[in-house]
Amino acid sequence: MKKSRKWHFSKRDYDLFVSFSDAGLLRKTKTEMFWKQVVQKAYPKVPIAARDTIEAGREAWDRIRKSGRQRQNYRDWQQLSDAIEVGEFMATQIAGKAEGGAYARLMQAWLKLNGMDDIATSTRTYMRQVREHAAEIEAWRNSLLPEQKMKMNNPKTILEHFERWRKQKQP
């Protein structure tokens, strides 16, 4: 079951994103500044709810960075994941697909503009996998004791324990 987004892009917003590639702005270039400019031009067209999600993600990342692993909060990781989902969506809409050089450069530019470029690629991958199984993971987390929940905050840890639980559950 796919979770519903707190934000959405209208058809008009999508057309504006696509117009960047139609205008030839996604030409092959090696300058980082170019990709930042493309993302900056798209940013004003982002819905307010998505901007709020990004801001909440920035704040959550600051709290995560400043706290030790034992003091990290699962909700902060969720907010960060939601913000990165907005960035992935924007990069996909501008690049036209969720893969390839243009997408990777746009995503990196988005991460830099939002102060999240120091998040490891593997961590972003774990967050994406947690998002894909969000409903199942929430149900599993609700079955845990509070002490167990407090130990499982990082996306990698959550995914490892969830996968182990899922394998045990299957006959």
Q: Are residues 88 and 158 in the same domain?
A: no
State the Cα–Cα distance between residues 124 and 166, nearest whole angstrom. 22
Q: Are residues 56 and 89 in the same domain?
A: yes
Does pTM surpass 0.75?
A: yes
Instruction: Give the pLDDT of residue 44.
Output: 78
Q: Are residues 30 and 103 in the same domain?
A: yes
118, 145, 160: which is the final residue of a domain? Answer: 118
Q: Which two tokens stand for residue 68?
A: 């030790």
SS3 annotation, 31-75: CHHHHHHHHHHHHHHCCHHHHHHHHHHHHHHHHHHHCCHHHCCHH
- The answer to whether residue 167 is domain-embedded is yes
State the Cα–Cα distance between residues 72 and 70, nearest whole angstrom. 6
Which of the pair, 41 or 5, is modelled with greater confidence? 41
Write down the residue that tokens 């030409």 correspond to.
27
Work out the average pLDDT over 103-128.
Answer: 92
Q: Are residues 136 and 162 in the same domain?
A: yes
Least confident piece of the model among 8-22, 37-51, 118-132: 8-22
Q: Are residues 104 and 128 in the same domain?
A: no
Going by pLDDT thresholds of 50, 70 and 90, the confidence category of residue 129 is very high
Q: Are residues 99 and 154 in the same domain?
A: no
The full length of the chain comes to 171
Instruction: Give the pLDDT of residue 14.
Output: 46
* Cβ–Cβ under 8 Å, residues 131 and 3: yes
Instruction: Give the pLDDT of residue 28.
Output: 45
Q: Are residues 130 and 114 in the same domain?
A: no
Write down the residue that tokens 């991958």 correspond to.
125
Q: Are residues 14 and 88 in the same domain?
A: yes
The count of domains in the chain is 2
What is the rounded average pLDDT for all residues in the chain?
82
- Give the DSSP H or E segment for 93: helix 74-95
Q: Are residues 113 and 141 in the same domain?
A: no
Q: Are residues 45 and 87 in the same domain?
A: yes
Question: Crossing angle, helix 155-169 and helix 134-142, to 10 degrees?
Answer: 80
- The answer to whether residue 2 is domain-embedded is no
CA atoms within 13 A on the CB side of 41: 17
Going by pLDDT thresholds of 50, 70 and 90, the confidence category of residue 23 is very low
Residue 1 has pLDDT above 50, yes or no: no
131: closest CA among 110, 162, 106?
A: 162
Q: Are residues 149 and 86 in the same domain?
A: no
Q: Hey, how many other C-beta atoms are within 10 angstroms of the C-beta on 147?
A: 7
State the residue range of the domain holding 29: 7-118
Going by pLDDT thresholds of 50, 70 and 90, the confidence category of residue 98 is confident
Q: Which tens digit of pLDDT belongs to each residue from 138-148?
A: 999 999 998 88
- The answer to whether residue 168 is domain-embedded is yes
